[in-house]
Amino acid sequence: MALTEARPLALPSGEEDTIERPGGVFARPTASRGWRSWVTTVDHKKIGIMYGATALAFLMIGGLEALLIRLQLWAPRGTLLSADLYNQVYTMHGTTMVFLVVMPIGACFANYLMPLQIGARDVAFPRINAFSYWCYLFGGVFLNTSWLLGGGADGGWFNYAPNNGVIFSPSHGIDFWNLGLIITGIASLTGAVNLIVTVLNMRAPGMTLMKMPVFTWMTLVTQFLLLFAIPVLTAAQVLLMMDRLFDANFFNVAKGANPLLWQHLFWVFGHPEVYLMILPAFGLVSEMLPVFSRKPIFGYPFIVFSGVAIGFMGFGVWAHHMFVSGIGPISVTTFSLTTMFIAVPTGVKILNWTATMWGGKLRFTSPLLFSIGLVTMFTIGGLSGVTHAIAPADSQQTDTYYIVAHFHYVLFGGAFFGFVGAFYFYWPKAFGYMLNETLGKTNFWMMLLGFNLTFAPMHILGLQGMSRRVYTYDAGYGFELWNKVATIGAFILATSVLLFVFNIIYSKVKAKSLPPVGADPWDARTIEWMTPSPTPEYNYDPIPTVTRVDDFWYRKYGETKDGKLVRIAATDDVVQQRSDGKGIHLPSPSYWPIVAALGLPLVAYGLIFSLWLCLIGGIITVAGIYGWALEPPDDPDAAHEDHGPGGHTSDDGTAVEETTEALPEAEAEKEAETVG
């Protein structure tokens, strides 16, 4: 299928972006343009890919730390890590996995997919979007440079006061944790505003809120969670920074401070945090299950509003992390009840997913297997979660390996399984080739086995009384066997993650000898599958007009009176052909977002080592913001079509309207009515 030549938009190198392949000349996938196009990009797709690649890199670091923990606990009285180093390793493991891996993978899919799902050309503020990504990268690198500059944070990923103060933690590890997460917090907050404005303002004609794909809904809920949760953490971190670097006493018990303040602030952020990690994966599974069951999602409104309910209720359960912190029986009872309630909307989702598969024509592809992995493993994690809601039981379980098992079942078994499935599902859309399915299925079964061997025994260890965060244990408590099993499991799990990376490399090499996949390799349901693969820079030409949920599906299939599915159009007649994108307005690449972000880690190093650095960092960031403010949003030198204030001009200067698809007959009439 020969496609017309791509439109070389703003290529700093001016290089031709086409490539020879069996079957014709094809547009060079956006992903492979020169390094400057990555450093200056404001394209939501590229930024999504950068989030994903960076998160996978941090996963390697967090995974290595996890293996060190498991090696240390292989046998009683392990000597691989000292007590202090062990504290640093699990703190950095937890922090890395939560803030630098799982959250950013959510951002990867939100950035790449959501604008496509709503039929937009990009997000509302493309340069802010780039700035968010660079803040995430620089914040994460800054945090990890602590390993080279005195050692990592050692107070656990929730870093309780007063242990997080200079009296008990004199090294700078916690300052790196604190300031690094303030910088990544800026990434989350600016990202949240950007994506909320995009979902609410940039949907394709006809796409009302209740016609949005479920993933876009979960993205919207997640961004609101970020918007309200991150500032609470940042406020606590600023107080801690004042205590550690400027001798304030916000958490200094000797000066009358209440150490529970930190716990309340951390968990008012921390519990919504676990939902903003899982909801994107829930959304992705709600996209994959209908495609591979060949059935619409069961109970669309319920699955949408159960997500919204989880978002709201997630702010009302935080003190279940403090049942043994002395908050008193009234609070314990209240938060015990609210925690039980939140199991209801979660249960609704599990029911809807199961009902979607029920009676469906299941195709056991890798995306479906990983989706089933999420549904089953998350259910196990959810059930142990309910046992924590019962305060008396929790007083036995808290701070033991039973808890460690619980959150790995919901975070790894839940979020991670969903994300890996979604990588397999959306890889052809982003890169124009499929990941190998045989390796994909092996990947799934190996990950499922390794995962359960690692974390299932931890339930037993916890109920036997093994505490978390202990760098070693004595023989004779019955902990030996299950720790060995867990460590073997961890290495199988790590191998399965490496197999995923291997599959990426192997499939990319293989793809050279294969024609690129078409727009709709999975016979999918939502409009993002109407765009060519890999997705062109302009996304759509024209912007589709949406008439219902699963709009793309119902352009291909209809239903007879007795509900039988019939094909009404060939996929090739429905999907969009790659165009030259002429006349389409796109935001221009820019260096200023990276410059503005670059000053922030310098300011942070300055706060720890020398205030001069703060000055330099501050100047760079302010210069970046000025350059950005003075830069025209669409730079004529970037060889854009010059579009006047009223709209867009094509090469010959005549104004062109934004190309949207005409509404089908019936809809046009209805639209006319409503507009009328």
Please give the residue ranges that form the binding site for Cu ion (CB under 5 A): 271
Minimum gap (Å) between residue 63 Cβ and ligand HEM: 5
d(CA 467, CA 390): 19
User: Pick from ligand HEM, Cu ion, none: which does 388 bind, CB < 5 to 8 A by kind?
Assistant: none
Closest distance of CB 408 from ligand HEM, Å: 6
Nearer to ligand HEM, 83 or 509 (CB): 83
Q: From 66-74, 105-113, 238-246, 381-389, give the range in contact with ligand HEM by CB under 6 A.
A: 66-74
If the CB atoms of residues 269 and 628 are measured against Cu ion, the closer one turns out to be 269
Instruction: Give the closest residue to 389 by CA, choosing from 341, 350, 347.
Output: 341
- How would DSSP label each residue in 60-124? HHHHHHHHHHHHHTSSTT--SS-HHHHHHHHHHHHHIIIIIIIHHHHHHHHHHHHHHHTT-SS-S
Give 370 or 538: the residue with its C-beta nearer to ligand HEM.
370
Whole-angstrom distance, CA of residue 218 vs CA of residue 207: 16
CB of 496 to ligand HEM, least distance (A): 9
Interface segment toward ligand HEM; rule CB under 6 A; list 77-85, 293-301, 404-412, 500-508: 404-412
Number of C-beta neighbours around residue 337 at 10 A: 12
Binding part of the chain for ligand HEM, among 85-93, 107-115, 166-174, 293-301 by CB under 6 A, reads: 85-93
Q: Residue 655: which H helix or E strand, with range?
A: strand 655-656
Within 449-468, the residues that bind ligand HEM by CB under 6 A are 454, 468
587 binds, among ligand HEM, Cu ion, none (CB under 5 to 8 A by kind): none
Specify the residue, 276 or 620, whose C-beta has the smaller distance to ligand HEM: 276
Which of the listed partners (Cu ion, ligand HEM, none) does 9 bind, with a CB threshold of 5 to 8 Å by partner kind?
A: none
Q: Closest approach of Cβ 482 to Cu ion, in Å?
A: 25
Which span (31-39, 93-101, 354-362, 551-559) binds ligand HEM, by CB under 6 A? 93-101
Residue nearest to ligand HEM (CB): 94
**CA of 267: how far to CAs of 270, 272, 315, 320, 453, in Å?**
4, 8, 9, 9, 30
Our CB check for Cu ion shows the closer of 121 and 271 to be 271
Binding mask 467-486 for ligand HEM (x = CB under 6 A): -xx-----------------
Q: Which does 271 bind (CB under 5 to 8 A by kind): ligand HEM, Cu ion, none?
A: Cu ion
Block residue for tokens 């997460």: 181
Lookup: tokens for 611? 């205030």
Residue 90 is which amino acid? Y
Q: Give yes or no for a contact between 126 and 44, defined as CB atoms under 8 angstroms apart.
A: yes
- CB of residue 271 to Cu ion, shortest distance in Å: 4
Residues 285 and 425 sit within 8 Å (Cβ to Cβ): no
Count of chain residues binding ligand HEM (CB under 6 A) = 23
98 binds, among ligand HEM, Cu ion, none (CB under 5 to 8 A by kind): ligand HEM
- For position 127 contacting ligand HEM by CB under 6 A, the verdict is no
Q: Is 411 in the site for ligand HEM (CB under 6 A)?
A: yes
Q: From the list 6, 97, 143, 310, which residue makes contact with ligand HEM (rule: CB under 6 A)?
A: 97
Residue of the chain from 192, 196, 405, 493 that contacts ligand HEM (CB under 6 A) = 493
Q: Please give the Cα distance from 607 to 618 (Å, whole number).
A: 11
By beta-carbon proximity to ligand HEM, the closer residue of 131 and 417 is 417
292 binds, among Cu ion, ligand HEM, none (CB under 5 to 8 A by kind): none
3-state secondary structure of 576: coil
Residue 380 has phi, psi (to 5 degrees) of -60, -45
Residues 6 or more apart whose Cβ sits within 8 Å of residue 40? 12, 589, 590, 591, 594
Residues in the chain: 676
Binding flags for ligand HEM, 25-64, as an x/- string (CB under 6 A): --------------------------------------x-
Q: Are 167 and 147 in contact (CB under 8 A)?
A: no
- Is residue 92 within the footprint of ligand HEM (CB under 6 A)? no
Kindly tell me which residue out of 241, 342, 460, 490 binds ligand HEM, with binding defined by CB under 6 A.
490
> Token pair of 172, please?
């700078």
Q: Within positions 236 to 295, which residues make up the interface with ligand HEM, using CB under 6 A? A: none
As measured in angstroms, the least distance from the Cβ of 500 to ligand HEM is: 12
Q: For residue 631, give both structure tokens.
A: 């830069």
Residue from the set 42, 47, 66, 281 that interacts with ligand HEM by CB under 6 A: 66
Provide the b/e sequence for 577-612 (b: ≥16 CB within 10 Å): ebbbbebbbbbbbbbbbbbbbbbbbbbbbbbbeeee
Cβ of residue 103: shortest distance to ligand HEM, in angstroms? 9
Residue 481 buriedness (CB in 10 A; 0-12 / 13-18 / 19+): exposed
Shortest Cβ 321–Cu ion spacing (Å): 5
186: nearest Cα among 257, 123, 134, 253 = 134
Spell 355-379 as b/e; 16+ CB within 10 A means b: bbbeebeeeebbbbbbbbbbbebbb
Cis check for the bond before 272: say yes or no (omega within 30 of 0). no
Which one, 107 or 434, has the nearer CB to ligand HEM? 107
Distance CA 300, CA 352 (A): 9
Stretch that binds ligand HEM, among 222-230, 314-322, 411-419, 601-609 (CB under 6 A): 411-419
| Least Cβ distance, residue 320 to Cu ion (angstroms) | 5
Encode 36-64: b = buried (16+ Cβ within 10 Å), e = exposed: ebbbbbbbbbbbbbbbbebbbebbebbbe
Q: Which residues bind ligand HEM (CB under 6 A)?
A: 63, 66, 69-70, 90-91, 93-94, 97-98, 102, 156-157, 404, 408, 411-412, 416, 454, 468-469, 490, 493
